[in-house]
Amino acid sequence: MDISEIGKFALLDRLNAGFEARQQTSLKTFDDAAVIAASNRPKQVCSVILLEGIHFNLVYMPLKHLGCKAVTHAVSKIAAMNALPRQILVSLGISSRFSVADVESFYEGIRAACLMYELELVENNLVASMTGMTISVTAVGEASEESLCYKSGAKVNDLVCISGNLGAAYMGLQVLERERRIFESSHTQPKLEGYDYVLQKQLHPQARLDILKIFEDNEIKPASMTAIVDGLASDMLHICKQSDVGARIYLEKIPISSETFAVCEEMNFDAVTAALNGGDDFELLFTVPVSLHEAIKGVPEFEIIGYTCDNSQGACLVTPEGNELKIKAQGWTSISG
């Protein structure tokens, strides 16, 4: 069914009907603006924008997965504040090539993410686009003032830590792009068997809200924290700049899964480069005082990868031979790069 057959507002009614109220702070939803009750707990708000052809390619990205991933992206930024996401607001720009079924499939992913992260969709908007699909997701979080973490909180001699492993999402993207090029040149069906782990990390990642519970259970309060969206190098430098510190990151300590290593070897790609400059890992990068060393070491999900130092020493990657290489913020250019 073409969207023009039912119109924007009828389609919005169909989409909005699938979302249930979950938060007591949501006083009014799906009006000219959402109304969220104020409280003595600070609210955190962040927005992400994803553009077709830059951040995603619908040749291989299922619309349902895309909806879920868009929410994950926004939610990860709230988690990086040591806060829990509560509500989301979604705006979608679509061209005439998308059908009602396409849009509903995208919102199935949004709904799945709302269930996964216990979110409430409080505002929803559709606009026409001449250039494909544009996605905007705004997430609203909540945390006590004393539990909030900022990029600016790191101190000299903090431990630099990370959850999970890095580089898998980027290598999943490389597999998908390789198979897309082969299909377009020879119409050979994609061969995706054996790449389940890296493909899942690229197509269906999860925000690390579980880490916040681990912090609480182990009485760990990060001094600074950010979500790894643009790659370890760029996001480490964000903390360094805002905290006015330097850093030493040990190459051999960067967590990279065996599945990622295998794909890198097959594609003749350096795994450390994927971890440093890849993206969409959505893991948490954080620093803690050295006094929390034993608490961090006792958590299997965490890896200590280095330490902060005086700003005058800069941010460097330390090789197993002891050489220091300046960390550069190449960032992630997604499918356009």
pLDDT tens-digit series, residues 38-84:
666 778 888 899 999 989 999 999 999 999 999 999 999 999 999 99
* Token pair for 12: 């919005």
pLDDT tens digits, 259-282:
999 999 999 999 999 999 998 999
Rounded-to-integer distance, Cα 230 and Cα 280, Å: 7
Rounded-to-integer distance, Cα 220 and Cα 141, Å: 20
332 has pLDDT over 60 = no
What Rg, from alpha-carbon coordinates, does the chain have?
21
Taking Cα atoms as reference points, which of 236, 333, 232 lies closest to residue 282? 232
pLDDT given at position 3: 65
- Check if the beta carbon of residue 203 is closer than 8 Å to that of residue 84: no
31 has pLDDT over 50 = no
Taking Cα atoms as reference points, which of 301, 234, 287, 256 lies closest to residue 80? 287
pLDDT given at position 190: 85
- Check if the beta carbon of residue 71 is closer than 8 Å to that of residue 111: no
Q: How many residues does the chain have?
A: 337
Q: What is the mean pLDDT of residues 6-30?
A: 65
Which of 80-84, 184-188, 216-220 has the weakest average pLDDT?
Answer: 184-188
Q: Enumerate residues 6+ apart whose C-beta is below 8 A from 23.
A: 86, 87, 120
Rounded-to-integer distance, Cα 127 and Cα 95, Å: 9
Rounded-to-integer distance, Cα 149 and Cα 225, Å: 6
Phi first, then psi: give them for residue 157, nearest 5 degrees: 75, 15
CA dihedral 139, 142, 145, 147 (to 10 degrees): -90
Question: Residue 25's CB: how many other CB atoms inside 10 A?
Answer: 17
Q: What is the mean pLDDT of residues 122-129?
A: 90
Rounded-to-integer distance, Cα 290 and Cα 138, Å: 35
pLDDT tens digits, 156-181:
999 999 999 999 999 999 999 999 99
Rounded-to-integer distance, Cα 226 and Cα 284, Å: 6
> Which letter, b or e, does each residue of 50-64 get, where b requires 16 or more Cβ atoms within 10 Å of its Cβ?
bbbeebbbeebbbbb
Amino acid identity of residue 102, one-letter, is D
pLDDT tens digits, 226-253:
999 989 999 999 999 999 999 999 999 9
pLDDT given at position 243: 96
Within 52-146, strands assigned E span 84-94, 120-128, 134-142
Collapsing DSSP states into helix, strand and coil, what is residue 69?
Answer: helix
| Residues 129, 71, 59: CA angle, nearest 5 degrees | 55
* Token pair for 221: 């309060």
pLDDT given at position 272: 96
pLDDT given at position 279: 86
CA dihedral 147, 120, 30, 52 (to 10 degrees): 90
Taking Cα atoms as reference points, which of 302, 235, 304 lies closest to residue 77? 235
Collapsing DSSP states into helix, strand and coil, what is residue 140?
Answer: strand
Taking Cα atoms as reference points, which of 200, 70, 208, 201 lies closest to residue 139? 70
pTM: 0.88
Domains and their CATH numbers in the chain: 3-147 (3.30.1330.10), 151-336 (3.90.650.10)
Rounded-to-integer distance, Cα 279 and Cα 6, Å: 38
Question: Residue 240's CB: how many other CB atoms inside 10 A?
Answer: 24
